[in-house]
Structure 1
Amino acid sequence: MSIRYILFFILGLDAFVLVFQTNELSISYNEALLLSGDFSFLQLFINSSIMLFGQNDFALRLPMIILHLFSALLLFKISKNYIKIERNRIWLLLIFILLPGVISSAIIVNSAGLILFGLLLFVYLYENYSIKYSYVLLLFYMFIDGSFVVLFMALALFSLYKKEKTFFLFNLILLLTSLSIYGIDTHGAPKGYFLDSIGIYAAIFSPIIFIYLFYTLYRRYLTKDFDILWFIATTALILSLLLSFRQRVAIEHFAPYVILALPLIAQTFEHSYRVRLNIFRKKYRWAFGVSLIFLLINSSVVFFNKYLYHIIEDPKKHFSYKMHVAKELAEELKKRDIYCVKSDTKMAKRLEFYGVTNCYNYLIQENPLDSIHPNNVTISYKNVIVYSANVTKININ
């Protein structure tokens, strides 16, 4: 079968699974804030989709899925410069779309998916087209999102290493301008979160792949094998870990940069495999197989996360709880002809997306999960109650 057909089959299957997942999630408080908060490019993108397809979960998450699919295609094209064997590029694509962090960025509305697409687009244009396109794109990025400041820093270091004075000065200006516009987050008292950051990276990549990623970047440092992907990924990783010694770091702003190291990982693994005789390749096949199995397990946990409620005593400790309940709660309220309730600030913002506004006609108060009352509204997943609340009509005289 042609590689092109395999490529589009994988992307088609990926899109189908992600679209199916949109029905499994509710809008989170942060996503609801993004839709009605300060203007941003991402807000414009999402609201345009909602205007076209209506106010529903599919319209909310479709832009992120589209960005994800284009990101996967760009990664496949970029990998051509790093991986000689075409079928190995397919394996790299599979690993990319199975990474838990990539899956999350494909369905959760935040800047991670946008940044990842922007980074891959820049690298693709930089490596295949005139440098003038890179200047225009970088200038555009400065106004899109403050998280691109890490890219400007990495490119300034890269151009300094390559002794490209014009590109260095351009990125230095973008770096300083971006810092002046968006500022630097130094929120909170100094406190170490280094191990927390390492744990989040391991969850995003899966532990084995993250360890090999770290090994690849360090090995290239020792051999002085530097390129643009190495500078971008290494700068983001080191910066995030250094900042984590002082404060809690929003890893979702740095992880897209580190993901750019995937072609380097594949290139290092392919080279190490090919230079060895067949008799010594067995351990590499085992390592790849074990990594793929763990990756499938991790991605399955993301896709089938609702089954975890069977083993978690407190549903609120579930990693996706903040993206559950609201849609089902709105549906239950509408069945009772209730389209306006008074609830806590976060839930009120989420319910508003599903057509249940905030007022004082009814009061909804969350109860312990084992409470029994005729007016209770309960939400269950896989036969496990995860939310219970009492709905009371308020008589206003």
Structure 2
Amino acid sequence: MKKKYFHWLLFFYVTASFYLATTTPITPHEARNLYLSSDLVSLLMQWGSAIVPGFLGLRIFFVLFAFLSIRIFYELGQRYFAKREDVYLSTALFMFLPGILTATVLANVGIIVLALVLLFVLLYERKHFTLLPLIMLALFFIHEASIIFFVALLFYGIAYKDKALSMFSAAFITAFLYLAKGIEIGGRPSGHFIEIFGLYAAVFSPLLFLYFFYTMYRILLREKKTLMWYISFTALAASLLLSIRQKVYITDFAPYVMISTIAMVDLFMHSLRVRLPQFQKRYLRAFYVGIVFLVFSALMIIFNRELFYLSDNKEKHFANRIYQPYILAQKLKVKGVECYDVKGRMGLQLRYYGIPFCANDK
């Protein structure tokens, strides 16, 4: 990818991020975090609302964390690719992954975790070890699923005989077990295994996830295993294994899995360039088809507002739970209704729009 194309895509990504963060109504999950939680996400939402008005204020810190993630990912790409064009391509693909776009514009802990994990990998590979324990400590406190991250570090430390990394990761795993934190494990064999594949396909776009899965498997068998691969593969394998017995929340694992987009592009470029031009055509066709699916998925997210209002059956639209309370709030305000009783998270969304539970007024 040429530099000028990358700059245009970067401009479009930044513009789309601010557009979505400004125009997308508060989601049920965001409303629950804002009013019923006291964690870091809730705190950043409150701080942002005090600084910037409207929906953007709720999400401004998370948008900034996303931009930081893109910058760190770009720096990592320069360590993996000899050609700057490959750095541009991998970063552009990373920016427009549906999971990254969504995490950029909605208040969530995943984008904070993603930035910290990418920073950890970058500093480790540059042999800047001073801040690594602090990053590990931050992940320990802000993300209960980070035990997967520490397990991956332990595997890597043992494989490459890094005693310090092994000791620190083992200590954090022990702390998780002692405090009974981390991912809950239980249930019985059920049908969530296929579901997790569908969720990953939504996070990556379908064809890209198939190639990503192949990349993880190919590296497992034949290629050099980097720290980035250990983190992604451990998270991917853990999520697939857990899905056999229980429902898996993709937000617990996606930040660790998506960092290996670099490895996916690296493998594809290597497979493409070792072949003569006449044998590259099928690889390029597959690449273009994958890009079409990615672009379609990204546009569905960017223009979800317009697609919702154009939909004939809004109740079945994927964004109905976001826009329905917003539309209802506007109608209630026109009618002069000052309170409204409704069950579930929708009531919290209405509360954000200035329409509290009537029971609170009695």
TM-score (norm 2): 0.92
Does structure 1 retain, via aligned residues, the 8 Å contact 2:74–2:91?
yes
Bigger drift between 35-44 and 209-218 goes to: 35-44
Distance 2:45 2:126 in 1: 30
Q: Deviations over 1:31-54 (max 9, x none)?
A: 111112332222222211111113
* Residue 234 of structure 2: aligned partner: 235
Report the structure, 1 or 2, having the larger strand content.
Answer: 1
Alpha-carbon offset, residue 84 of structure 1 = 1.6
* Residue 89 of structure 1: aligned partner: 87
Distance 2:360 2:38 in 1: 32
Does structure 2 retain, via aligned residues, the 8 Å contact 1:42–1:114?
no
- Quick check: 1:10 aligned with 2:19? no
SS in 2 for 1:163: coil
Does structure 2 retain, via aligned residues, the 8 Å contact 1:312–1:318?
no
Distance 1:361 1:207 in 2: 46
Does structure 1 retain, via aligned residues, the 8 Å contact 2:196–2:243?
yes
Q: Which runs of 5+ in 2 are unaligned?
A: none
Alpha-carbon offset, residue 72 of structure 1 = 1.1
Instruction: Classify 1:109/1:187 alpha carbon distance in 2 versus 1 (closer, same or farther; 3 Å).
Output: farther
SS in 1 for 2:345: helix
SS in 2 for 1:357: coil
* Residue 66 of structure 2: aligned partner: 68
* Residue 34 of structure 1: aligned partner: 33
Distance 2:84 2:30 in 1: 38
Alpha-carbon offset, residue 264 of structure 1 = 0.5
Distance 2:5 2:297 in 1: 23
SS in 1 for 2:357: strand
Instruction: Classify 1:149/1:32 alpha carbon distance in 2 versus 1 (closer, same or farther; 3 Å).
Output: same
Equivalent residues, number: 360
Distance 2:28 2:123 in 1: 36
What residue identity is the alignment partner of 2:89? W
Instruction: Classify 1:159/1:213 alpha carbon distance in 2 versus 1 (closer, same or farther; 3 Å).
Output: same
Distance 2:145 2:39 in 1: 12
Distance 1:186 1:336 in 2: 48
After TM superposition, list the pairs within 5 Å mapping 1:1-397 onto structure 2: 3=3, 9-54=8-53, 56-179=54-177, 180=179, 182-186=181-185, 190-306=189-305, 307=307, 313=313, 315-359=314-358
Does structure 1 retain, via aligned residues, the 8 Å contact 2:69–2:118?
yes
| Same amino acid, percent of matched pairs | 29
Distance 1:291 1:136 in 2: 38
Distance 1:75 1:162 in 2: 23
Does structure 2 retain, via aligned residues, the 8 Å contact 1:100–1:203?
yes
Alpha-carbon offset, residue 337 of structure 1 = 2.6
Q: Which runs of 5+ in 1 are unaligned?
A: 363-395
Q: Deviations over 1:46-100 (max 9, x none)?
A: 211111113x211112222211111111111101121221122111122112211
Distance 2:100 2:183 in 1: 26
Distance 1:336 1:25 in 2: 23
Distance 1:261 1:184 in 2: 22
Distance 1:297 1:2 in 2: 22
Instruction: Classify 1:345/1:280 alpha carbon distance in 2 versus 1 (closer, same or farther; 3 Å).
Output: closer
Distance 1:2 1:231 in 2: 31
Structure with the greater alpha carbon radius of gyration: 1
What residue identity is the alignment partner of 2:170? L
Alpha-carbon offset, residue 6 of structure 1 = 5.9
Q: Deviations over 1:315-356 (max 9, x none)?
A: 343222222222232222222232222222422211111111
Does structure 2 retain, via aligned residues, the 8 Å contact 1:341–1:361?
no
Instruction: Classify 1:283/1:44 alpha carbon distance in 2 versus 1 (closer, same or farther; 3 Å).
Output: same
Instruction: Classify 1:351/1:187 alpha carbon distance in 2 versus 1 (closer, same or farther; 3 Å).
Output: farther
Distance 1:48 1:360 in 2: 28
Report the structure, 1 or 2, having the larger helix content.
Answer: 2
Alpha-carbon offset, residue 310 of structure 1 = 5.9
What residue identity is the alignment partner of 1:173? A
SS in 2 for 1:272: helix
What residue identity is the alignment partner of 1:206? S
Does structure 2 retain, via aligned residues, the 8 Å contact 1:15–1:65?
no
Distance 1:102 1:327 in 2: 24
Does structure 2 retain, via aligned residues, the 8 Å contact 1:83–1:266?
no
Distance 2:274 2:14 in 1: 37
What residue identity is the alignment partner of 1:84? A
Distance 1:308 1:352 in 2: 23
Instruction: Classify 1:322/1:129 alpha carbon distance in 2 versus 1 (closer, same or farther; 3 Å).
Output: farther
Instruction: Classify 1:252/1:140 alpha carbon distance in 2 versus 1 (closer, same or farther; 3 Å).
Output: closer
Instruction: Classify 1:183/1:268 alpha carbon distance in 2 versus 1 (closer, same or farther; 3 Å).
Output: closer
Alpha-carbon offset, residue 188 of structure 1 = 5.4
Distance 1:258 1:296 in 2: 21
Does structure 1 retain, via aligned residues, the 8 Å contact 2:6–2:92?
no
Bigger drift between 235-244 and 144-153 goes to: 144-153
Distance 1:360 1:236 in 2: 44
Does structure 1 retain, via aligned residues, the 8 Å contact 2:68–2:115?
yes
Does structure 1 retain, via aligned residues, the 8 Å contact 2:97–2:298?
yes
SS in 1 for 2:199: helix
Bigger drift between 129-138 and 350-359 goes to: 129-138
Does structure 2 retain, via aligned residues, the 8 Å contact 1:35–1:46?
yes
* Residue 374 of structure 1: aligned partner: none
Does structure 2 retain, via aligned residues, the 8 Å contact 1:309–1:318?
no
Alpha-carbon offset, residue 157 of structure 1 = 0.8
Distance 2:159 2:8 in 1: 41
